[in-house]
Amino acid sequence: MPISVLVLDPEKVFQTSVARKLRLHDIRVLTRPGFEGLKPILESLRFDALLLDAALLRAGLDPLRAVLAAHPAMAVILTASSEDAAVVRQTSALVAECLVKPIHPDTLLASVERHAGEKPECAD
Q: pTM of the prediction?
A: 0.91
Is the pLDDT score of 100 beyond 60? Answer: yes
pLDDT tens string 41-95: 999 999 999 999 999 999 999 999 999 998 998 999 999 998 999 999 999 999 9
Nearest to residue 99, comparing CAs of 124, 120, 82?
82
